[in-house]
């Protein structure tokens, strides 16, 4: 993921940068000046940086372990402001900060829908699966105004191009109509990211996101509408959301919501994220700092901890009654649901 290199020209209130795409692939030159718009209404407090992207469907590097090869990220930065967000360092490629800048200064690829239409219509495009939500949230607050994800879902559906969406937002319910139309034409998988149902932990760690209970309700509504939706319990935060009883609450609710898949990962703290998260931890949960230092000598939790966590979630799914059989598609065929596609080190565990 990861790669815009930017040169800020603050005197002219413009930015120019090279885009080395969202997911670490080729480099495009974005030469147009960037319009900087103060957020109004529901976007008050944000600054929207309008850019025209040279390309929007980005290739994931061959070396990546991701279970998909193509991604779309119409936004950079995310007003959901999760303290652990692994995409934070990508803002630094823009010459912006990984902290408050990431939360408040949102890059909007205003031509994303027209680019997607053009790119999927290209004779070179082979109709492969495209993952959305791999870097920042496609249904973040800005989407309420810009409707880029809605347009992209519509374009991919019309082109019968398979895709998946991962989000922490109930705004996805606005698009039941276009998602439903897409499901009728191609493989579509949605996932709601719900790391905890605990109100206190949610408010402390994901301050800009909708209540996780409403997110779980969105899982049920998507599945009821025939749009396959799973739950991604992520990331699990040591000492904050990893209590087994709390995790079991999420698993039980996900099974009740008809989740077509449940996957989970432990927190990882890669450089850039680590600094931000540990600063937050020192301010809010100083008693946990020493434990994190011990657990995270490297970016990822130790392998045995990850393995134990996966086994724990599997047992919880079984205790909760298991997952539904692969649903029939609206076109009457049966096929496996697409894997929950997002997150570094994603492990499908159910």
Interface contacts to ligand SF4, rule CB under 6 A: 78, 80-82, 85, 87, 136-137, 140, 168
Mapping DSSP onto H, E and C, the string for 174-226 reads HHHHHHHHHHCCCCEEEEEECCCCCHHHHHHHCCCCCCHHHHHHHHHHHHHCC
Q: Which one, of 133, 183, 125, 153, lies nearest residue 22 by Cα?
A: 133
Q: Which one, of 200, 253, 263, lies nearest residue 230 by Cα?
A: 263
* Least distance CB 107 / ligand SF4 (angstroms): 13
Closer to ligand SF4 at the Cβ: 183 or 194? 194
Handedness of CA 46, 51, 56, 61 (dihedral sign): negative
* Least distance CB 141 / ligand SF4 (angstroms): 10
Closer to ligand SF4 at the Cβ: 281 or 323? 281
* Least distance CB 231 / ligand SF4 (angstroms): 15
Closer to ligand SF4 at the Cβ: 110 or 142? 142
The HSE-up count of residue 280 (CA atoms within 13 Å, CB side) is 21
Question: What is the number of other CB atoms lying within 10 angstroms of the CB of residue 12?
Answer: 10
214 to 172, 210, 217, 253: CA distances (angstroms)? 12, 7, 5, 11
Per-residue burial over 245-271, b if 16 or more Cβ lie within 10 Å, else e, is ebbbbbbbbbbebbbbbbbbbbbbbee
Closer to ligand SF4 at the Cβ: 78 or 250? 78
Question: What is the number of other CB atoms lying within 10 angstroms of the CB of residue 179?
Answer: 26
* Least distance CB 268 / ligand SF4 (angstroms): 12
d(CA 266, CA 310): 9
* Least distance CB 119 / ligand SF4 (angstroms): 23
- Using N-to-C axis directions, what is the helix angle for 212-224 and 244-256, rounded to 10°? 30
Closer to ligand SF4 at the Cβ: 140 or 149? 140
Closer to ligand SF4 at the Cβ: 145 or 314? 145
Closer to ligand SF4 at the Cβ: 186 or 342? 342
* Least distance CB 83 / ligand SF4 (angstroms): 9
* Least distance CB 203 / ligand SF4 (angstroms): 14
Residue 268 near residue 236, CB atoms below 8 Å: no
H/E stretch holding 253: helix 244-256
* Least distance CB 137 / ligand SF4 (angstroms): 4
* Least distance CB 273 / ligand SF4 (angstroms): 10
Closer to ligand SF4 at the Cβ: 232 or 255? 232
Closer to ligand SF4 at the Cβ: 88 or 187? 88
175 contact partners, CB below 8 Å, separation of at least 6: 149, 150, 153
Which pairing describes strands 35-38 and 47-51: parallel, antiparallel, or unpaired?
antiparallel
């Amino acid at each position: 993921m990861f790669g815009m290199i930017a040169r800020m020209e603050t005197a002219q209130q413009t930015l120019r940068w090279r885009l080395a795409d969202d997911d670490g692939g080729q480099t495009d030159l974005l030469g147009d000046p960037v319009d900087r718009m103060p957020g109004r209404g529901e976007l008050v407090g944000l600054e929207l940086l309008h850019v025209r992207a040279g390309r929007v469907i980005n290739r994931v590097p061959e070396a990546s372990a991701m279970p998909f090869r193509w991604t779309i990220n119409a936004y950079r930065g995310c007003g959901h402001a999760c303290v652990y967000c692994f995409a934070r360092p990508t803002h630094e490629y823009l010459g912006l900060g990984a902290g408050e800048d990431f939360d408040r200064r949102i890059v909007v690829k205003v031509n994303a829908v027209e680019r997607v239409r053009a790119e999927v219509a290209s004779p070179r495009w082979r109709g492969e699966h495209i993952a959305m939500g791999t870097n920042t949230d496609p249904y973040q607050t800005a989407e309420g105004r810009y409707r880029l994800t809605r347009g992209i879902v519509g374009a991919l559906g019309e082109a019968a191009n398979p895709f998946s969406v991962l989000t922490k937002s109930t705004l996805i319910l606005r698009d039941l109509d276009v998602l439903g139309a897409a499901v009728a034409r191609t493989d579509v998988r949605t996932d709601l990211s719900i790391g905890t149902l605990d109100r206190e932990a949610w408010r402390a760690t994901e301050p800009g996101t909708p209540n996780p209970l409403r997110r779980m309700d969105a899982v049920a509504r998507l599945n009821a509408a025939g749009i396959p939706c799973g739950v991604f319990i992520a990331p699990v935060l040591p000492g904050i959301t990893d209590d087994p009883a709390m995790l079991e609450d999420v698993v039980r609710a996900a099974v009740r919501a008809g989740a077509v898949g449940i996957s989970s990962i432990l927190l990882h703290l890669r450089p850039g994220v680590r600094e931000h998260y540990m600063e937050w931890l020192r301010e809010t949960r100083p008693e946990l700092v020493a434990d994190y230092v011990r657990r995270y000598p490297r970016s990822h939790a130790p392998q045995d901890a990850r393995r134990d966590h996966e086994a724990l979630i599997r047992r919880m799914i079984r205790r909760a009654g298991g997952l539904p059989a692969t649903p029939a598609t609206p076109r009457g065929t049966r096929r496996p649901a697409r894997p929950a596609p997002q997150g570094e080190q994603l492990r499908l565990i159910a």
